[in-house]
Amino acid sequence: MADQGYGGELEAERGYVAGLYGRLDVKRDEAKRAYQKALGDDGGTPMERDSRVRALAKQVRRLDVADSGLCFGRLDELEGGRRYVGRIGLFDEEKDYEPALLDWRAPAARPFYTATGANPEGMRGRRQFHSRGRTVVEFTDEVLGRPDGGAAGDAALLAAVNAPRGEGMRDIVATIQAEQDEIIRLDHAGVLVIEGGPGTGKTVVALHRVAYLMYTQRERMERHGVLVVGPNPAFLHHIGRVLPSLGESDVVFMTTGDLVPGLHTTAEDTDQAARAKGSPAILDVLAAAVADRQRLPDEPIPVVLRDVTLRIDAPTAEWARDEARATGLPHNEARGTFTEIITYVLTERAIGRIGKGWLSREDRDAWEELRADLLAELADDEAFTSAIDALWPILTPETLLGPLLSSPERLRAAGADPALLRADGTAWTVSDVPLLDELVDLLGRDKAADKAAEDAAARERHAEAEYAKGVMEIIKTERMDMMDDEDHLLAEDLIYAEDLAGRFEESDTRDLVERASADRDWTYRHVVVDEAQELSEMDWRVLMRRCPNRSFTVVGDLAQRRSAAGATSWGAMLERYVPGRWAYRSLTVNYRTPAEIMAVAAAVLAEFAPDVAPPESVRASGVPPWSRQVDGDLLAAVAAFTAAEADLPGTSVVIGPPEVPGAVAASETKGLEYDAVLVVEPERILAGGPRGAAELYVALTRATQRLGVLHRAELPTALAGLTAV
């Protein structure tokens, strides 16, 4: 690829990359100065100032993360040109702003990932850098344009997959493979399903797809951000660095247990309860439960007006209930109609009795005056308010669902599965979250509470304006005392108090992630769902509400499903919401699991999913996975494994029953990877339920280097490929 020797080429590349870092430093200094200036800028409205500050803060963050691995290679064109590829784009101001560095997401950078010997895409060579800090340590070259040119990035790829695991998932921006790149850049506006077995990189591909979309559709995506949904908090922590490392920060990370603001739960239901709550049939149960709280009085309820005792009887309440339901409004909003009908009947009856003999309907003024007095009396009457609350109470999702789940009578009245009954109705589980979210729409807002909140906010803004006015009076007084002549007053002395107060008005200083996380009605421009096979149909209803334009990247593996309410086919789950608007792509290459370990896992897969082909591993580790039958102290054997791994680089985990100290369940490791894995008592994992084999499959495929199995009972036949030690 080059005429001069390797050493000379290496020095030349180091010089070029050093120049790129120089440009990066200049841009970063400019961005930081602009950011500091914007912080002190009084121009424009508070909203405009906040927008400028946030935009500049994002720019600074993008430039900061680019420092790590700024440039990772170059392409040599057939015509002789060169294209350097890296994390961000940089331009050469001295050469009419020609690209000095291509952003990896730019179309011109794509051949870096997709060009092959058979299809060079106009390139004659590819060079990949290995850097430490800001210095290029070495490089490898590939000659393109001939059939034996080799697969893209093999050397860099193998170096990456063999490296010890640290804390958190790493981006693959320097080693994206052709099948991954095709998915990352796929032009599909609906739902994209990416299915792949363990180690195929489906999660990191989905995250890079988000980075690509935010690059190509930045204006559309940035205002509303992206939601990433994962199976558990450990998984979200594991992947949380990838998008920030690619310069993207407008991303909210949640589990399905976090989708209702203020609620964070990881508790799970029994399979039967989870299946019932995850089915669309639960919608009828919720509607019936709401209707059950719209009650008729068993006995007439007395209400005293002007010494006249009136009664809210069942026929009156039934008429009011029918009228309220006929509005089609949510429960809390329909309460106004219910109250209005009851009020009308009571005031009509009261006027008829009070005005009997002296008040006729033709005397409209006296009639309306009396009605106004009665309405005011009703508004202050505790018996009337209590009656309305009893017959048509203001409900929240929690005050509806909690009592429902703890009451056999209410469950029976709503036609619910008895398996939903539990002692503590408010001991929320992950399966309750979509029900609580659904009830927000079924119940609607409490307008009185909303009005009270608005009034409180208005009072706070008024207090802030008064405070600002007082501050300005103090400033002016002090300035006047210091100046000999009013003409010498500084410009800031003429700022009106309202301008200072404006800094407080409607100025939400939270960033997008904070605002979106706290707002149930926030809508995202794109949603990533990982381990999507675990989501129920009710979970999908929640997510579809969060993304009205139905732009999703869905990641999963049906063979790894453990949830009783999860997906058995992608079409059955998605056609309901996006008919004809979802596309399917599969990943078939295992970049994580060595061939020796994958052979053992494949035998387990064949037993419970014989029609599913295991992914093909790209490498062998040379370390055979082993098993040991323990007759004595199992805990001592686990401790020996832990001690041995402590002296080796990388990470390790023990997966097994809960009574094993330090062991985690296989479900808690989904989507994670470790250098070494010890599986304890696999026979008990298999016997743990109808999806026990899938759990064991997950456990076996977490290792990137070493796998061991400890067992007391006979080893399951599917694990016969392990080497006994």
- List residues forming the annotated binding site for ATP: 196-203
Half-sphere exposure of 394 (CA within 13 A, CB side): 9
Helix (H, G, I), strand (E, B) or coil at 720: coil
Give the separation between CA 46 and CA 24, rounded to whole angstroms. Answer: 31
Q: Which of 641, 671, 675 is nearest to 656 (CA)?
A: 641
From residue 160, give the alpha-carbon distance in Å to each of 582, 587, 617, 693. 32, 18, 14, 30
Say if CB 650 and CB 676 are below 8 A apart: yes
Conformational region of residue 625, where left means phi above 0, alpha means psi within -120 to 50, and beta covers everything else: beta
- 56 and 34 Cβ atoms separated by less than 8 Å: yes
Distance, in Å, from the CA atom of 670 to the CA atom of 417, rounded to the nearest integer, reads 30
- Measure Cα distances from 501 to 40, 74, 453, 461, 563 in Å: 16, 54, 21, 8, 53
Strands annotated E in 51-122: 71-77, 82-86, 90-92, 98-103
Torsion of CA 103, 219, 44, 247, to 10 degrees: -40
Which residue type occupies 502?
G
CB 700 within 8 A of CB 653: no
Q: Distance between CA atoms of 297 and 293, rounded to whole angstroms? A: 12
SS3 state at 525: coil
Cα 71 from Cα 131, distance rounded (Å): 9
Which backbone phi and psi does 299 adopt, to 5 degrees?
-130, 150
CA–CA distance, 461 with 456 (Å, rounded to integer): 9
Q: Annotated binding site: which residue ranges?
A: 196-203
Tell me the residue length of the chain.
725
Please check whether residue 149 is in contact with residue 119, taking contact to mean a CB–CB distance below 8 angstroms. no
Q: Which two tokens stand for residue 289?
A: 């439960």
**Tokens at 366, concatenated:** 């006296």
- Phi, psi for residue 478 in degrees, rounded to 5: -65, -40
